[in-house]
Amino acid sequence: MRIMIIDDHASNRELCRLMLSHISSRIDTFDSGVGVVEFMQNMPLLPDVILLDVVMPDKNGFSTAQEIREAFPDHHIAIIFLTVLDDHDSFERCLALGDDFVLKPVERSVLLAKVQAHFRIVKMHNEVISQRDELTRFHEQVRYDYAIAESIFTNLKDEMSTQVTDIFGIDYLSTPSTIFNGDLIVVANRPHGGVYVMIADATGHGLPAAISTIPATRAFFSMAMKGLSLGEIVTEMNDVLVRFLPSGMMLAASVFEVRANGFELTWWGGGLPDAYILDGNNDIVSKLVSQHMPLGVLTSQEFEMNLVHLTLEPDQRIVAYTDGVTESTNSRGEAFGQLRLESVLQSDRNAIPVLYDAVRQFAQKETDDDLSILSLSFPISNHSGRHHNEELERLSHLPSQSTLNFPASVIRDVSLMNEVRRYMIGLLGAGHHLDLICSILAELFANAVDHGLLKMESSIKEEADGFFIFYQLREERLAVLDDEAWIRLEVNYEPSKSELVMTLEHNGEGFDYHQLQPQSDHSLSYGRGIVLASELCDSLEYSNNGNKVTALYRFTSPHQFPRCL
């Protein structure tokens, strides 16, 4: 406790100092109110309690107290007046300008009790101020974190989504209960015509729910780009979510694969409310009842991917939705429910805006849950080929051949793929072909450096902390890479054939490529990259004892870039 005593009588100052010395860490004394404020402004720590005489010759206690209050408005300093005045007006001024008063002659017990009581108040006030400031900083940090997260999610959405003007028959609405949305509606082109569509609802609300949709979205798009079957897609998404999501978090989903003819589809449902099939007269034909657990709950051994195969008729439609629709409540706590939902669906073919308005009018407030509605009207048509041809027209019509050499000094100190990507941009421009070609080259360069030049073993990654050990060892070996090491990339672009031939060669250790087998063990965390590169290429051939690989990429092959609604 820090105390300041202001009294024009030295005996009073000394008496109070002696009474309080055992409870105070510092006591400052003044014989006048003149210069007190200036002294306090230079103090490293302000006093907690000030004992202030009322009657003083140069400046009385009331004026001094008023100056102190005006000089330090943001600090709580307890001012206790010492006074011989005993009239009500004086007492009133003491309590108006200070916090308390003690009558002279000062009694030790009274002085100690009041000083300690007001010190407790000062401590509590300072703790409250400290907690307030800490809470303010926390709120500012949360607002900053949310702003950054919102920016990232917006960029992700913009990156994955374009106006899906080449797909007709798909409509949707998704509204978050907070800034971030735990609901998900995505669509991707099938490489051989048709589309994949998913509507999903992550556990919880807000940022945690939104984050949990990211691995599912990435898995969905990567599998869709390969043109895999719906069973393989939902199996991969489930495996990804089991690995990434904490216990108790999951993703309820309905996933559709619509064939190129626009009428045939396959459906997998896990955890979402019943979807409806309606005819052209808005009559309910049947329901799609979920038979599975949500994604991310069961292990790969337990997961069931039993699918439903359907062929719909012209003008039929499927309406799927998340539980934010049926579980929206009104002021009486009554849920919107299934019966109201069916009544709305059968009343108007324009299901999405009509259903959304009905839910809002019923609830008479913002919904407490994320709310999403998906409508598939058959036939669903996909004319993505038009955009594919437009991108082909933007490619250069001039054939070119070039060779890029990467000596050991470059391999050690330069990010190879950053430089290669810059070169390929100059050759091909932007577009999804650039991404696919760079994906292929990234795998080829990684194999050449890691296994050919550095002689790394991918099986290290399966050990405890395997990835950390692998890349730590990689950095160590890269730092002492033989100065004679090199990699050479030859690029042959033939616009007349709509193809790009890439040949990568190195002088490191080769392998028996005749024994090369496709990676079939999906439990391993390595070896999948070269399989993906093989699938993106029209051909991938090794030669020269495995030190040379030639990849053929045709721009007219059905590589489709996934789109996001």
The DSSP-derived string for 15-27 is HHHHHHTTT-SEE
209 within domain boundaries: yes
Identify the CATH number of the domain in which residue 421 sits.
Answer: 3.30.565.10
Which residues constitute the domain of residue 17?
2-129
Q: Are residues 215 and 358 in the same domain?
A: yes
| 326, 343 contact by CB (below 8 A) | no
Task: Name the domain boundary from 350, 381, 412.
Answer: 381
Instruction: Return the pLDDT at 306.
Output: 77
C-alpha span between 443 and 226 (Å, rounded): 16
- Domain tally, the chain: 3
Low-confidence residues in the chain, pLDDT < 50 = 162-165, 385-391, 431, 518-527, 558-565
- Per-residue pLDDT tens digits for 252-309: 999 999 988 888 888 999 999 999 999 989 999 999 998 899 999 988 888 887 788 8
Q: Are residues 88 and 182 in the same domain?
A: no
Give the helix ranges, DSSP H, for 9-107. Answer: 10-20, 36-41, 61-71, 88-97
Task: Quickly tell me which residue has 């309905």 as its tokens.
Answer: 254
C-alpha span between 372 and 350 (Å, rounded): 15
Q: Are residues 512 and 478 in the same domain?
A: yes
Q: Are residues 301 and 438 in the same domain?
A: no
Q: What is the DSSP letter of 362?
A: H
Cα angle, residue 550 at apex, residues 548 and 555 outer, rounded to 5°: 160
Q: Are residues 228 and 290 in the same domain?
A: yes
Residue 453 to residues 17, 137, 286, 509: CA-CA distances in angstroms?
81, 51, 61, 6
Instruction: Return the pLDDT at 321.
Output: 93
Instruction: Return the pLDDT at 173.
Output: 86
Q: Are residues 377 and 405 in the same domain?
A: no
144 within domain boundaries: no
Q: Are residues 117 and 230 in the same domain?
A: no
C-alpha span between 550 and 544 (Å, rounded): 11
Q: Are residues 298 and 210 in the same domain?
A: yes
561 within domain boundaries: no
- Per-residue pLDDT tens digits for 369-410: 578 899 999 998 875 544 444 445 556 778 889 999 999 999
Task: Name the domain boundary from 346, 381, 416.
Answer: 381
| 39, 4 contact by CB (below 8 A) | no
Identify the CATH number of the domain in which residue 55 sits.
Answer: 3.40.50.2300
Q: Are residues 193 and 331 in the same domain?
A: yes
520 within domain boundaries: yes
Instruction: Return the pLDDT at 430.
Output: 52
475 within domain boundaries: yes
190 within domain boundaries: yes
Q: Are residues 200 and 349 in the same domain?
A: yes
213 within domain boundaries: yes
Q: Are residues 442 and 327 in the same domain?
A: no
Instruction: Return the pLDDT at 429.
Output: 67
Q: Is the dihedral of CA 555, 556, 562, 565 positive or negative?
A: positive
- Per-residue pLDDT tens digits for 520-565: 444 444 445 566 677 778 888 999 988 999 999 988 754 433 333 3
Among residues 320, 315, 225, 217, the alpha carbon closest in space to that of 262 is found at 315
Task: Name the domain boundary from 129, 153, 188.
Answer: 129
80 within domain boundaries: yes
Q: Are residues 272 and 418 in the same domain?
A: no
Task: Quickly tell me which residue has 């890479």 as its tokens.
Answer: 481
C-alpha span between 448 and 454 (Å, rounded): 9
What is the model's pTM?
0.50
